[in-house]
Each structure stands twice: as structure tokens, then as C-alpha cells.
Amino acid sequence: MDYFSIMVVDDEVDFLETLVKRLQKRNIDTVGVTSGEEALKILGEKRIDVVILDVKMPGGIDGIETLREIKRHQPLTEVILLTGHGSVETSIDGMKMGAFDYLLKPIKLEELMIKLSEAFEKKDLQEQKIRKARIKELVRFPGRVFQQEKE
């Protein structure tokens, strides 16, 4: 598995800290935040491949709102939703809005790892396609390399 970076968003601090620690212990670049606002802020500063997002967070913007913002600014970032709640509708709504999948708490790390790698693969694949498309374009219109670099 290539290097990838992860962000965990959950208002439950104990959960968040432990999960971050465990992921880091597995040499995964992980940051943990406790609110949607913080998540969006970090996302603007740092490259994040996959976001693990708790659907239900009190105060501020909730999980779904955060998801919408993430997808608007960085559509390629994959989001895995976490829910402890019975109402799965929210998670389904989330998936319709572009979330990769959802998991019910409590989760075993192994499960999470599998989902993470799937999400990363998907993202990777997507990025590869984009790269290939660019290369094709560059082969056809070499002049555009300057335009690309400007962006």
C-alpha cells in the first residue's frame, strides 16, 4: 500500500485519540479533529486522502454538512462515514452525496483498515485516470504544459 494520509473527525475525544494513535502506530499519517469546522480548515492546508467522519456531531456543522463541504472543495477525497445511531437513512443520504461507504460503531480496526484501503484504491484509481488523461492531452497539445503548471 502506498503512503496515504487520513483524517478522523469525531466529537468523542477518547475514541478519536485512540483511533488516531493506533493508526499512527501502523505508520499511517493520521490527524484527528473533533469538529467539522476544524476538519475543513485542515483540509484546506494539507493533502488528505481519506476522511473518517462521524455522522452525528453536536454543535457547529454536523457530519453531513461537513461531507457536503468536503465534496465541494475536494471531490477526490474519499469519505467513510461512521455512525453509532440506528437511523441509517443519514448514512444512505451521505452515500448518495458521494461518501465512499459507512460503518457502524463499534468497529474493529481490521474492518476499518480494509475499508480504508478500498477507499484509497478507489481514489488512487481515479487519480491515475486523471493523470493518464492529462498525459494524453499533453501528448496531443504539448503547449498546454505551461497552462497546467500555472494552475
Task: Provide the binding-site residues for other proteins, judged by CB under 8 A.
Answer: 12, 14-15, 18-19, 21-22, 25, 56, 84-89, 92, 104-109
Complex with other proteins: residue 6 or 40, whichever CB lies closer: 6
CB 79 within 8 A of CB 99: yes
Rounded distance, CA 90 to CA 136, Å?
40
Look at residues 84, 52, 83 and name the one whose alpha carbon lies nearest to residue 70: 52
Q: How far is the CB of 55 from other proteins (least distance, A)?
A: 10
Closer CB to other proteins, 43 or 57, in the complex:
57
Least distance between other proteins and beta carbon 36 (Å): 18
Query: Which lies closer to other proteins via its Cβ, residue 87 or residue 128?
Result: 87
Give the residues across from 78 on adjacent strands.
50
Compute the least distance from the CB of residue 81 to other proteins, in Å: 13
Three-class HEC string of 64-94: HHHHHHHHHHCCCCEEEEEECCCCCHHHHHH
| 88 or 133: CB nearest other proteins | 88
CB 57 within 8 A of CB 81: no
Q: How far is the CB of 90 from other proteins (least distance, A)?
A: 10
